Structure formats: structure tokens, C-alpha cells
Amino acid sequence: MRSVYKNILKVKEKNEKLLAILLDPDKLAGNSLTGIVSKLHDNPVDLIFVGGSTVEPGTTDSFVNQLKQLTHIPVVLFPGDYTQITDHADAILFLSLLSGRNPEYLIDQQLKSVDSLQKSSLEIIPTGYILIDGGKETAVQKKSRTLPISQEDVKKIVQTAVAGMYLGKKLIYLEAGSGAKYHVDKKIIAEVHKNINIPLIVGGGIKTQQHLEEAYQNGADIVVVGNGFEEDKNLLSQFKNKLIRS
Ligand code: 1GP
């Protein structure tokens, strides 16, 4: 087993938690990457996710290449489509949008990515991606032309996560969408956590320590923060991670 997923499992076994920061290469264009990375190094960031629903082709490759020269934090691709694949990263969340009914994001994008993945040395981590209504139409929803599952429909969310696990996914990602108005409710996180035995990622609309703590306490193994960090590069210093992550 390669090291990124192995480490996630190790941390989960110890009942500790991981923080992932999502960097969108398009949104960060024009910002100093050195400055961004130094903010990440000042804080207990465990993983850097790189991706976005729409990123100009070629941008991710040079962004990740630069990033890898500045940090030893593992870089994990979280691609909006197959054009965002680059061998400069350490691993890729090989996503299948299980909440949607659009074959393009269930299997077609995955087929399109095979050529580059076969040539790469990326660690491939099969991930069941579940879009949950975050109170506004998010970029994932628009791009994938799929509907999120309502936060009221806890049963369907749990069943989707369990079906993903039965299909062999190694991670389940509960996504309220970048910039969501409402993050994934703690009851949903707790129910999904109770029903799966693979690590759980939660993201979308998480901007405060209370949100972060709530997600961890209810069973998230990895919490992803994107917008919150983009808007306020000092946000992480407000997260007293050491206290809440173990
Ligand atoms: C989006 O889950 C991530 O794919 C992070 O969301 O940008 O709202 O933090 P935010």
C-alpha cells in the first residue's frame, strides 16, 4: 500500500484527525505561492488537496510542480476533470460522483483519465464522492449537471455511502460544495460514520473552529477547508487543532 492512504488509515486507527487544505490553482493565480505555503507550514496542515470544478488545462501541472518544490506536505489531486491530472502530485482522489446520475462523472471521466494514470506514478485512491445540498447551487452541481442529495434525506446519503464502500471505495467524501451556505450537518456525519468502516472526508462551507470540531467529533477523519483559507490566510491560526484532533 502506498503512503498517503496508509497514513490516513494509521491516523484513523489512533482515533486522530487530519486537516486538508484545498487549493484551487485558478483562484490562486496571481498570489504568491511561497506566502501561501508558509501559512500552511505555520499550522498543522496534513494534506494539500489541489483541484477545482473548472481549471484551465495545464494550470494544475505547473501549480503542483511549483508547490512540490516548496513543501513536503503530501499533495493530493482532487480533480474536477481528467485534464487536471499531473504526475507531480503524490496521490489522486479517484472520484466517482455517486450522488449524481450523470454517467460522465460516474465512469466516463474515469475512462478518459486512464491513459495519463497508467503513465504516472500517482497513488490512486478510489473515492466515493457524495454531493449534499449546501443551500446554494455550487460549482460541482453546475459542472456535473447533477442534483445534490437533500440534507433531510439522511437515509439516502447513508445508503449511498455504504453502497460506495461495497463497491470498493477506499474513502467516502461528503461534499456540501465549495462555498456552501450550510456545511454537512453533524447528524449526517454521525450516521454515515456509524455505517462505514472506511475513512470519511467532510468538506464544503467549513469556516470556523466550531464547524471543524463538530465534524471531527461526529466522525469525520479528514476535514477539507478551501474558501475559508482563500478568503483569510490567517484562518488556520484560529483553529486550535492540537486540542481537538485527538
Ligand atoms: C470543496 O469541500 C471543499 O470541494 C471545500 O469547500 O471551499 O467551502 O471550504 P470550501
* pLDDT per position as a tens digit, 176-193: 999 999 999 999 999 999
Q: Which atom of ligand 1 is nearest to the CA of 179?
A: 8
Which position has the higher pLDDT, 26 or 49? 49
Compute the average pLDDT of residues 229-241.
Answer: 80
Could you tell me if the CB of 80 is within 6 A of ligand 1?
Answer: no
The span from the CA of 214 to the CA of 177, in Å, is: 18
**Residue 188 forms part of a structural domain:** yes
Give Cα 224 distance to the centre of its chain. Answer: 6
DSSP H helices, 82-144, are 103, 109-119, 139-144
Tens digits of residue pLDDT in 195-213:
999 999 999 999 999 999 9
**Residue 129 forms part of a structural domain:** yes
Q: Range of 153's domain?
A: 18-239
**Residue 227 forms part of a structural domain:** yes
* Other Cβ atoms closer than 10 A to 149: 22
Whether the pLDDT of residue 134 is over 80: the answer is: yes
Pocket test for ligand 1, best of 225, 229, 235, 236 (most atoms within 8 A of CB): 225
Tens digits of residue pLDDT in 92-117:
999 999 999 999 999 999 999 999 99
Could you tell me if the CB of 206 is within 6 A of ligand 1?
Answer: yes
pLDDT band at residue 233 under the 50/70/90 scheme: confident
Q: Which atom of ligand 1 is nearest to the CA of 204?
A: 6
Q: Which atom of ligand 1 is nearest to the CA of 202?
A: 2
Whether the pLDDT of residue 30 is over 90: the answer is: no
Q: Which of 220, 189, 224 is nearest to 207 (CA)?
A: 224
**Residue 11 forms part of a structural domain:** no
Could you tell me if the CB of 199 is within 6 A of ligand 1?
Answer: no
Could you tell me if the CB of 178 is within 6 A of ligand 1?
Answer: yes
Q: What is the CATH number of the domain that holds 122?
A: 3.20.20.390
The span from the CA of 97 to the CA of 95, in Å, is: 6
Q: Which residue's CA is minimally distant from atom 2 of ligand 1?
A: 203
Whether the pLDDT of residue 50 is over 80: the answer is: yes
Could you tell me if the CB of 224 is within 6 A of ligand 1?
Answer: yes
**Residue 245 forms part of a structural domain:** no
Q: Which atom of ligand 1 is nearest to the CA of 140?
A: 4
Could you tell me if the CB of 205 is within 6 A of ligand 1?
Answer: yes
Average model confidence (pLDDT) across the chain: 94
Buried b or exposed e, range 86-111, using 16+ CB within 10 angstroms: bebbbbbbbbbbbbbeeebbbeebbe
DSSP code of 104?
A: I
**Residue 246 forms part of a structural domain:** no
Could you tell me if the CB of 53 is within 6 A of ligand 1?
Answer: no
Q: Which atom of ligand 1 is nearest to the CA of 78?
A: 4
DSSP H helices, 83-197, are 103, 109-119, 139-144, 154-166, 186-195
**pLDDT for the residue numbered 1:** 63
pTM: 0.96
**pLDDT for the residue numbered 244:** 52
Q: Which atom of ligand 1 is nearest to the CA of 176?
A: 2
**Residue 13 forms part of a structural domain:** no
- The CA 155 to ligand 1 mean position distance, Å, reads 23
**Residue 3 forms part of a structural domain:** no
Domains in the chain, number: 1
Q: Which of 196, 192, 101, 99 is nearest to 149 (CA)?
A: 99
Could you tell me if the CB of 226 is within 6 A of ligand 1?
Answer: yes
Compute the average pLDDT of residues 142-155.
Answer: 97
